């Protein structure tokens, strides 16, 4: 793969913002001594004050549900429902809180703490919990510990207040120097910033932006399936490009420090560089590949409104079909990254140890901090 093609692929990850002028389910901390009987648990937001909760715990005969605003200290003062082995309930009229967590307490086994995956931030729609998934061996990735997001330079005061209330300690920015110069992160009070530039501060995005400002050039660069191929190539480069290896190594080493939690990592759209970070994180946790793909594709849902606005702004200047592959995610994008892992390293474990250079201690610390059950 030539260096020029490599730069074009990475530039595609944030070209639309440049053109526009820079326009649930898991356990909380602790309670790891018993097996968790739940094989399914989910919370979906209905509106600002109501959620629906569903579960399936084959080894339990009954489940009692409690609500609280702190995933580590829910307590049993606020009971919101109960049911059998499998069921669902609606919880309405919740008082205002930055985020509600729900403890599913079975009659046998350890409880499970769940929450709506999205924080519903108006100015960062792809801000969501990175945890909340069951592993292949029956553990759960804790919620309220790690988040993934799109750009944070436009956070409103209200959304910043929400993140402060959630206790964010670390914000890892995966963007380039160019992107950061166009929009510096707005950090919640007390949060530390980590710059982990996946693309190596490549400057080709500005040149590509100028090319795409002309519709003829845009068609040459993106038309005929070229846009999707750019995304496939970019995802392959996440696995082997030196700047990407350095950035992801720094991210995971910092996440292994419990003093840095809760944390959030993000890029511009929160779907590509962030998407691979999430895929690697969930792989470390032992989450099945099918579940990892489901999480990856959620960006299409959360970014739908934001992307439609972008396309509307460019209407009449560019064929939307050229840009749509850049705005969303597709299974073949993430598959390309996993395929590159196998080609270069033979396995995900080799990629973690040889590619990223993560030590046994770091990997063990990550699993200790983020897994329960």
90-121: pLDDT as tens digits: 999 888 888 999 999 999 999 999 999 999 99
DSSP H or E segment with residue 20? none
Residues 281 and 143 in one domain: yes
Q: Which of 67-81, 208-222, 253-267, 298-312 has the lowest mean pLDDT?
A: 208-222
Residues 321 and 181 in one domain: yes
pLDDT at residue 146 in the model: 98
Separation CA 169–CA 173 (nearest Å): 13
364, 361, 28, 365: which is closest to 167 by C-alpha? 28
Residues 60 and 176 in one domain: no
**Burial (Cβ within 10 Å: 0-12, 13-18, ≥19) of residue 161:** middle
Residues 244 and 324 in one domain: yes
Contact 78, 66 (CB under 8 A): yes
- ∠ CA 17-19-22, rounded to 5°: 40
What CATH number is attached to the domain comprising 65? 2.60.40.10
pLDDT at residue 27 in the model: 52
Contact 60, 106 (CB under 8 A): yes
Separation CA 244–CA 247 (nearest Å): 5
Q: How far is CA 34 from the centre of its chain?
A: 28
Q: Would you give the DSSP letter of residue 32?
A: -
For residue 18, what pLDDT band results from cuts at 50, 70 and 90? Answer: low
Residues 270 and 283 in one domain: yes
Q: What percent of the chain has pLDDT over 90?
A: 74
pTM: 0.91
pLDDT at residue 31 in the model: 43
371, 80, 18, 341: which is closest to 211 by C-alpha? 18
Last residue of a domain, one of 58, 84, 116: 116
Residues 241 and 270 in one domain: yes
Residues 11 and 66 in one domain: no
Residues 203 and 306 in one domain: yes
Rg (the chain; Cα; Å): 21
Residues 240 and 346 in one domain: yes
Contact 96, 129 (CB under 8 A): no
Contact 128, 302 (CB under 8 A): yes
More confident residue, 298 or 226: 298
Last residue of a domain, one of 58, 92, 116: 116
Residues 68 and 92 in one domain: yes
Residues 36 and 110 in one domain: yes
Range of the domain at 144: 3-23+117-372
Residues 145 and 71 in one domain: no
Q: Which of 52-66, 89-103, 146-160, 316-330 has the lowest mean pLDDT?
A: 316-330
* pLDDT digits 0-9 by tens, 26-69: 554 444 458 999 999 999 988 777 899 999 999 999 999 999 99
Structure tokens given for 237:
């480069």
What CATH number is attached to the domain comprising 13? 3.90.190.10
- pLDDT of 189 higher than 80: yes
* CB neighbour list of residue 144: distance below 8 Å, 6 or more residues apart: 28, 29, 71, 72, 99, 101, 113, 115, 129, 131, 166, 262
Q: Name the packing angle between helices 3-11 and 226-240 (round to 10°).
A: 110
Last residue of a domain, one of 85, 101, 116: 116
* Total number of domains in the chain: 2
């Amino acid at each position: 793969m030539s260096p020029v093609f490599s730069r074009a692929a990475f530039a595609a990850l944030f070209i639309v913002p440049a053109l526009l002028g820079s326009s649930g389910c898991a356990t909380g901390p602790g309670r790891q001594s018993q097996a968790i009987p739940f094989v399914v648990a989910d919370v979906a937001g209905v509106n600002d004050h109501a959620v629906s909760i569903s579960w399936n715990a084959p080894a339990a005969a009954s489940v009692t549900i409690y609500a609280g605003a702190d995933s580590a200290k829910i307590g049993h003062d606020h009971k919101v429902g109960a049911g059998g082995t499998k069921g669902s309930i609606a919880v309405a009229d919740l008082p205002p809180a930055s985020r509600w967590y729900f403890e599913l307490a079975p009659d046998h086994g350890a409880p499970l703490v769940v929450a709506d995956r999205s924080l519903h931030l108006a100015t960062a729609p792809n801000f969501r919990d990175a945890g909340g998934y069951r592993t292949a061996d029956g553990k759960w990735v804790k919620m309220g510990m790690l988040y993934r997001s799109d750009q944070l330079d436009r956070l409103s005061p209200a959304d910043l207040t929400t993140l402060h209330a959630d206790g964010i300690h670390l914000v890892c920015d995966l963007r380039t120097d160019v992107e950061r110069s166009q929009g510096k992160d707005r950090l919640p009070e007390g949060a530390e910033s980590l710059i982990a530039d996946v693309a190596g501060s490549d400057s080709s995005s500005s040149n590509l932006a100028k090319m795409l400002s002309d519709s003829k050039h845009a068609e040459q660069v993106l038309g005929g399936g070229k846009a999707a191929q750019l995304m496939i190539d970019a995802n392959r480069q996440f696995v082997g490009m030196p700047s990407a290896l350095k950035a992801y190594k720094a991210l995971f080493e910092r996440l292994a420090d419990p003093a840095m939690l809760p944390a959030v990592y993000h890029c511009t759209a929160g779907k590509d560089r962030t998407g691979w970070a999430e895929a690697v994180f969930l792989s470390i946790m032992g989450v099945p590949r099918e579940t990892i793909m489901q999480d990856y594709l959620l960006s299409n849902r959360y970014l739908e409104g934001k992307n439609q606005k972008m396309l509307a702004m460019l209407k009449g200047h560019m064929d939307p079909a050229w840009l749509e592959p850049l705005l969303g995610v597709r299974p073949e994008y993430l598959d390309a990254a996993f395929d590159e892992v196998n080609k270069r390293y033979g396995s995900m474990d080799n990629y973690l140890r040889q590619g990223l250079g993560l030590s046994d201690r770091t990997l063990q610390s990550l699993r200790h901090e983020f897994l329960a059950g």
